[in-house]
Amino acid sequence: SPARTALAPRDAAARRKGKARRGRGKARSEGLLSKQKRSRRMKANDRERNRMHHLNSALDALRSVLPTFPDDAKLTKIETLRFAHNYIWALTQSLRLA
């Protein structure tokens, strides 16, 4: 019933009040915690590095299909996206007029 589910968290908290913490047993040592944090940070850095690598590869592929002159400097990320947006818009307009 709704009244019972509303009281359930309080009842559970009251039951836990006088009891020792259960679960994994011993508290983790500081060395183990810092090693885990370092490991998590390294994994997060790897994921971010891979994400940026894939993003840059996709932008390079987009740059390769956009009509630019070879002597132009490499477009920045935002310039590439804006140019692609405008190019698609222009192609759409030319199709509508045709």
Domain ranges (residues) in the chain: 25-97
Q: Are 54 and 71 in contact (CB under 8 A)?
A: no
Domain 25-97, CATH among 1.10.287, 1.10.10, 1.10.3470, 4.10.280: 4.10.280
- With a cut of 60, say whether residue 52 has pLDDT above it: yes
For residue 67, is pLDDT > 60? Answer: yes
pLDDT mean across residues, the chain: 83
Name, in order, each residue with C-beta under 8 angstroms of 80's C-beta and a sequence gap of 6 or more: 59, 62, 63, 66
Phi, psi dihedral angles at 92 (to 5 degrees)? -65, -45
Torsion angle of the four alpha carbons 11, 1, 23, 35, in this order, in degrees rounded to the nearest 10: -110
The pLDDT value recorded for residue 69 is 73
pLDDT band at 65 (very low <50, low <70, confident <90, very high): very high
SS3 of residue 69 by DSSP: coil
